[in-house]
Amino acid sequence: MELQGFPLPEDSPEPGACIRIERPEPDLAVLVLAPPHRSLAVLDAPLLRDLDAAVAELENGYQKGVVIAGAEPLKFAAGADIDAIESITAPADLKRICDFVHDLFLRIDKLSGRVVAAIGGPVPGGAFELSLACDYIVAADHPKTRIGLPETMLGILPGWGGCHRLPRRVGLPTAMQAILTGRLYPARQAKKMGLVDRLTHPEYLLRVASDIAMGRETPRRKARGWKGMLVDRNPLMANLIAKKARETVYRKTRGKYPAPLRAIDITAEGPRTSMQQAARKEGDAIAELATGPVCKALLSIFGSSEEAKKLGRDLEGFEPRTFRRAGVLGGGVMGGGIASNLALKGVATRIFDLAPPALDAVLHEHRGDVAKRLKRRRLTKAESLQALDRLDCSRSMDGFSGSQIVIEAVAERLDVKQSVFQQLARQVGSDCILASNTSSLSVTSIAEGVPRPERVVGMHFFNPVKKMPLVEVVRGEQTAHEVALEVAALAVKMGKTPVIVRDVAGFLVNRLLGPYLDEAVRLFIDGAQPKQVDELMLDFGMPMGPFRLLDEVGLDIAEHASESLHQAYGERMIPCTGLEPMRSPDRLGRKTGKGFYVFPKERKARESVAPDLADYQSGSSARRLSDEQIVDRLVLSMVNEASRCLEEDVVAGAKELDLATVFGTGFAPFHGGLLHYADKLGATEVVARLEGIAASEDVAARPGGSAKFEPAALLRENARRNLGFFSA
């Protein structure tokens, strides 16, 4: 059964079960979103069906006021049904859905009396657009309340009225900012921006909304006045704002994401377009975008990230403990970032380092981060003080006995990590998890000599800790399954996306980056220009090119990592030695001010290509390669190694591997991840291109020959059976 093209599940609730109409006083109707099949309302087919019926009932009667509320003050609705949208492939179906919802929201707008949305908790996308169809919006003043329109982050645009209702409410500049950033704003910031009209404590939400609906209170709304005429409805100003927005989007995305560009056009015209015309434009855009490859790729990543957040709950019903006390060993950049993140997320954390300057730097960074969040209204004053109190520094390894987990971020030496964990095990409880932030050492080896080695696990953060979303949870040979799940749950609490991986050299992300960065170095030695290659990969969709990445990582660190991979994987990972003459103590990349690029000390000055690079190039074969061939050598080297990772069960499956490539390497999200990209090419084409690279004269002449590009067994099997990684 379908509702206007929206799939209606076979086990969907009976008609009328998702919306409850309450009448707490004469002439007041309260529509409660309370679907029995979901813990939090979603604007899916059953709920929209019942909302349509409830609105029809109100249209046939009279009421002075209407309130639309969630089942609880902090449970309004989670937006549209993303799974249903992802499953729809026919543009006509999506157009019918949008037409239906626009008509429904317009009928809500025209109901007799005041219509008030009483919102709280997460209010993203379609849930906020439903609120925008009401006369007033009252929000629960609570940290869990987050309001906004994140659709452009998913490859679509606010297609249920957001692109034309929001600029009418808050003005074109603010609406454009909210739609293009896709941010979910805290309640107080949303009030300041005009996204909502009134704030109240969650326990008073329904009462305040009812008072407004019945006319006993009228919130002050900041009118646009002359700004509305001069800016929002002025074609010249609107076009100027749109032009600036397009320039910003192109600078950030190189035009690879169509949704923000379509959103700019529709939003800019919104205040000057009738509701019916704007609705048609939104519907047409949604029908095209939501069935396109970019949206499907982004929705796939979103779905995988949502699944990763459930890693802490096993199928057998295992529930992870709530971590309240943690320890961190090592006050460097990584350790300090981990400790600060834990403290910000509500975990009392003690960090140890022998050097007072290191601990001073940790506290300084933490205080600065807290102050920044307070200034941006992401924390209240009370919350900021609590976050400061939760971070404690120590120059002694005493005081960790009450910790439920201790994360080490000390020197990347096996003997040091083993010694630290063996010493720590003597003072912490037997159920305290010992996690290593190692990026290259074996977790199994680190656990040797530690009592109860099943509690030792890898928790590999990426630098910078507070910005990089991925955490690799590394299971050593003796790591307990429950321990891995608990660490994954803690990563989610820290705002990270966990991926559980096997304990192999390089784990997953660094193992995939190894051949990619090595190939870039080989291209450079053979005459390729770093700036040109970096530009090619930026255009491909990577956040930075391989040479800029090498400078960021550090040429010494990259050399160490490549040697480790060579020892583990043999000839296909033989590192290029051509950089040895260039690498020196004062030329290691950004940290020394010079690598492939020169990094000036002045803050606003931009880096430039080092002028002496030609001195370190000994070949010219790369100059004969086309742009496509250069991209293939870089990207397909990763695809080939990713295939081997799946063969070895390094990660649960293709979905998890793609998630790690997007969140860990920044692999172009619009491709959907590394293996989604390979599937677009097709296994037969990938194998043919790899064989072509392997047979090329310069590759065959390398130490190790063409081993890197010899197609993996899984790739060959997929090509033989005409399968993809996601259809195998």
Instruction: Confirm whether 364 is a catalytic residue.
Output: no
Cα-to-chain-centroid distance, residue 133:
29
Instruction: List, for residues 133-170, the tens digit of each pLDDT value.
Output: 999 999 999 989 999 999 999 999 999 999 999 999 99
- pLDDT at residue 705 tops 90: no
* Residue 694 resides in a domain: yes
| Residue-level pLDDT at 266 | 96
- The DSSP output letter for 20 is E
Integer Cα distance of 175 and 431 in angstroms? 50
Residue at which a domain ends, from 291, 317, 350 = 291
Mean pLDDT of the chain: 92
Same domain? 402 vs 540? no
**Contact predicate 395/382, CB 8 Å:** no
| Residue-level pLDDT at 149 | 97
**pLDDT > 90: percent of the chain:** 82
Instruction: List, for residues 52-103, the tens digit of each pLDDT value.
Output: 999 999 998 888 999 999 999 999 999 998 888 888 889 999 999 999 999 9
Residue 318 — very low, low, confident or very high, per pLDDT cuts 50/70/90? confident
DSSP 450-483: -SSGGGEEEEEE-SSTTT--EEEEEE-TT--HHH
* Residue 593 resides in a domain: no
- pLDDT at residue 644 tops 80: yes
pTM summary value: 0.90
Same domain? 475 vs 547? no
| Mean pLDDT along residues 266-284 | 93
Integer Cα distance of 175 and 195 in angstroms? 9
| Residue-level pLDDT at 378 | 79
- pLDDT at residue 223 tops 80: no
Residue 465 — very low, low, confident or very high, per pLDDT cuts 50/70/90? very high
| Residue-level pLDDT at 232 | 78
Same domain? 158 vs 186? yes
Same domain? 406 vs 437? yes
Same domain? 252 vs 373? no
Consecutive H or E run containing 627: helix 627-647
Q: Residue 333 maps to which CATH number?
A: 3.40.50.720
Same domain? 129 vs 270? yes
- pLDDT at residue 305 tops 70: yes
| Residue-level pLDDT at 6 | 64
Instruction: List, for residues 656-671, the tens digit of each pLDDT value.
Output: 999 999 999 999 999 9
Integer Cα distance of 693 and 508 in angstroms? 24
Range in 9-13, 176-180, 242-246, 304-308 with the lowest mean pLDDT: 9-13
Please state the domain count of the chain: 3
* Residue 461 resides in a domain: yes
- The DSSP output letter for 447 is T
Integer Cα distance of 101 and 93 in angstroms? 13
Same domain? 70 vs 99? yes
User: Hey, which residues does 20 pair with through a beta bridge?
Assistant: 32
Angle, CA of 328, 330 and 335, to the nearest 5°: 65
Same domain? 92 vs 175? yes
Integer Cα distance of 526 and 629 in angstroms? 14
Domain region containing 570: 510-581+614-721
Same domain? 282 vs 344? no
Instruction: List, for residues 562-591, the tens digit of each pLDDT value.
Output: 999 999 999 999 999 888 999 999 999 999
Structure tokens at 369: 């981060």
* Residue 601 resides in a domain: no
| Residue-level pLDDT at 578 | 87
| Residue-level pLDDT at 311 | 82
Residue at which a domain ends, from 473, 503, 533 = 503
| Residue-level pLDDT at 86 | 87
In sequence order, which residues have a C-beta less than 8 Å from that of residue 610 and are 6 or more positions away?
A: 594, 595, 596, 597, 598
Residue at which a domain ends, from 503, 522, 540 = 503
Integer Cα distance of 672 and 677 in angstroms? 7
Q: Euclidean distance between the first and final Cα of the chain, in Å?
A: 30
In sequence order, which residues have a C-beta less than 8 Å from that of residue 77 and are 6 or more positions away?
A: 33, 40, 41, 42, 43, 70, 123, 126, 127, 130
460, 566, 671, 676: the active-site residue? 460
* Residue 317 resides in a domain: no
